[in-house]
Structure 1
Amino acid sequence: MQLHVTHTTRYAYDEPVIYGLQKIRLRPVGSHMQSVVDWNLTVTGGKIECSYCDHHGNQTDLVSITPEGDAVEITARGTIITENTHGVFGKIYGRVPLYLLRMPTLTTEAGPKIKAFARTLDKHDDLLAGLHALSEAILKAVPYESGHTAADTTAEQALAGGKGVCQDHAQIFIAAARLAGLPARYVSGYLMMDDQVDQDASHAWAEVHLDTLGWVGFDVSNGISPDERYVRIAVGRDAKEASPIEGMRMGSADESMIVSLQVQQ
């Protein structure tokens, strides 16, 4: 499937920014699941200082805000040809060892509620079936609804709150899988929706490593494994490490953000 993506993020500040630096993970990497036909990253109100491949294999750019500027706009645009591998990314490895992906992070630390959910896996002789059951149980316990969690909400907090978005679903799933001793990671990217071109945000799902298949994806929010409608952008131990944009700035300016995203054939 050929997908066209246009993703613009605009940050505005209520007073000039002395210094600001953004870490951008908005360049897809080619694999057996996707071929990058063309892709461009443009910046208004700043410039790309350097580009590199991080330890997870993510193509990363560092973008500085123009000194004394009051806005910066970052647009990623391009065309991807995707393949349906039924969620199986396979036995593809980078510099990050599997044992590190079994360890919790601040936002994927399992508390009592997630520990109870992890027992879902014990009820199934087939591990893959157990993981799908875990995904279904998480979505039932935490229906998709925006406005109840934030970027720094932990998996345990999201589960306790009973409502969340794809970031929360992925991190709960990751925390539970790691409790079972499975390497798990967070994936950020895009999803072409069947009835909607314009979207409010990018998408996220989880991957778990199985000895038999390698990395397998689970989109808890939609109750499926990723197919040809998905575009992978970045991976990490949690949402922060795979975030499309993260950064810092000097000064006391308040920030507002507007996101515009279109994913279509």
Structure 2
Amino acid sequence: MRIAVEHRTRYRFSKPQARLVQMLRLTPCDTRDQTVVSWMIGVDCDARMRDTTDGFGNAVTMLYAEGPIEAIDITVTGEVLTGDADGLVYGSSEPLPPILYLRNTARTTPGDELPSFAANSIAGSSDILDRMHRLNAALHARFPCVPDAADTGVTAAEAFLRGKATSRDVAQMFITAARALDVPARYVSGYHRDGDTAQSAPHAWAEAHVEGLGWVAFDPTTGLSPDDGYIRVAVGLDALGAASIAGTRIGPGDEKLDVALHVSEE
């Protein structure tokens, strides 16, 4: 499938900022089943941009802008060719061993309810791949209508108890539950073609490491493994570690964020 992405992030500040430093995880990498045809990141003010790679193997663009800055628009346009690999991830950059992805963070502290839910969802199964599919289906059954939305900073345990979740939340629930079952798991951010509907944030899903197969992707939003309608961009230990945009600003006042995103088949 040939997928086109138009993604604009707009920051508005109540008072001019002296300096901005942003880490952009907005560029997908080639894998066996994902080929970047064209990709461009643009900004509407004078800024220095430097491409690099982070410790997880993600393509990163560092953005540095000097003030006074009252607003900034970051735009992404590109096209990617994708193939359906039944959720299997082949040819990705893997600088870190799978065992590292057993590590929990402040966002993925399991609490009491989530490990119990995970154990119940896999009851009667001894196969790791089958267990992960069961966990994925169980999360989808519990949270059947899950939108893509901005990160609110809640933990996986908090979102699970709250009963209301976004794609970021259920992805964090999956990796938290998988780690509680002693299966390495990681958070994935990227894009998902969902008809021609405009979206308000990038999509999130998860990957679990299955011995003998490698990394396998699971999307609790659908209860299935990702197909060729997905563009894989960044991975991390949680939503914060794979955030599309993260950074700091020097200056007083508040900021307002507006995101416009359209993912379509060409």
TM bracket, shorter-chain basis: over 0.9
How far apart, in 2, do the equivalents of 1:171 and 1:62 lie?
Answer: 25
Q: What TM-score, normalized by structure 1, do the two folds share?
A: 0.94
Q: Distance in 1 between matches of 2:98 and 2:216?
A: 14
Corresponding residue number in structure 1 for 2:76: 76
8 Å CA contact 1:107, 1:155 repeated in 2: yes
Change (3 A) 1:148 1:93: closer
Question: Are the aligned partners of 1:186 and 1:236 in contact in 2 as well (CA < 8 Å)?
Answer: yes
- Pick closer, same or farther for the CA change 1:214–1:233 going to 2, 3 Å: same
2:131 is aligned to: 130
Spell out, residue by residue over 1:66-111, the C-alpha distance to the aligned partner (whole angstroms, 9 max, x if none): 3111111111111100000011004755222222101111101111
Letter in 1 for 2:169: D
Q: Once structures 1 and 2 are overlaid, which stretch shifts more, 138-147 or 69-78?
A: 138-147
For 2:192 and 2:165, locate their aligned partners in 1 and report how far apart those are by CA, in whole Å.
18
Give the SS at the match of 2:173: helix
CA contact (8 A) 1:65 1:72 kept: no
Q: In the superposition, relative to structure 1, how do residues 43 and 95 fare at CA in structure 2: closer, same or farther (>3 Å)?
A: same
Cα distance in 1, alignment partners of residues 87 and 148 from structure 2: 28
Cα distance, 1:252 vs structure 2: 1.9
Q: 183-192 or 64-73, which moves further after superposition?
A: 64-73
The residue aligned with 1:89 is: 89
2: CA distance between counterparts of 1:46 and 1:136?
Answer: 47
Q: CA deviation at 1:32?
A: 0.7
**CA distances 1:200-256 after superposition (whole Å, capped 9, x unpaired):** 111010000001210000010111101000001111111011110011112222101
Residue of structure 2 in register with 1:56 after alignment: 56
Q: SS where residue 136 of structure 2 aligns?
A: helix
CA distance in 2, matches of 1:159, 1:213: 29
Whole-Å Cα distance in 2 between the matches of residues 31 and 41 of structure 1? 20
Normalised by the size of structure 2, how large is the TM-score?
Answer: 0.94
**Number of corresponding residues:** 264
Counterpart position of 1:189: 190
Contact 1:46–1:72 (CA under 8 A) maintained in structure 2: no
Distance 2:260 2:151 in 1: 19
**Which deviations, in whole Å up to 9, do the C-alpha atoms of 1:165-210 show, x marking residues without a partner?**
110000000001011111110110001113x242111101000000
Corresponding residue of 2:44:
44
Match of 1:203 in 2: 203
Q: After superposition, where does 1:214-233 map in structure 2 within 5 Å?
A: 214-233=214-233
C-alpha separation in 1, matches of 2:220 and 2:209: 16
1: CA distance between counterparts of 2:41 and 2:90? 28
SS in structure 1 at match of 2:22? strand
CA RMSD of the aligned region, Å?
1.8
Read off the aligned partner of 2:171 and give its amino acid letter.
Answer: A
CA distance, structure 2, for counterparts of residue 191 and residue 48 of structure 1: 30
Matches within 5 A, 1:1-265: 1-90=1-90, 92=92, 94-119=94-119, 120-145=121-146, 150-194=151-195, 196-265=196-265
What is the identity, as a one-letter code, of the residue corresponding to 1:123?
Answer: G
Conservation of the 8 A alpha-carbon contact between 1:192 and 1:263: yes
- CA offset digits 1:29-59 (Å, max 9, x no partner): 0011210111111111242332201111111
Following the alignment from structure 1 to structure 2, what is the Cα–Cα distance between the partners of residues 217 and 145? 18
Matches of 1:93 and 1:108 in 2, distance apart? 24
Q: CA deviation at 1:65?
A: 3.0
Confirm or deny: 8 A CA contact 2:101 2:185 kept in the other structure. Answer: yes
Q: Work out the CA distance in 2 between the residues paired with 1:35 and 1:49.
A: 23
Q: For 1:112 and 1:35, how far apart are their aligned partners in 2?
A: 41
Q: For 2:67, what is the secondary structure of its paired residue?
A: coil
- The percent identity for this pair of structures is 36
Cα deviations by residue, 1:113-144 (Å, 9 ceiling, x for unpaired): 11102202343132222211111222233343
Q: For the Cα contact (< 8 Å) 2:3–2:263, is it kept in 1?
A: yes
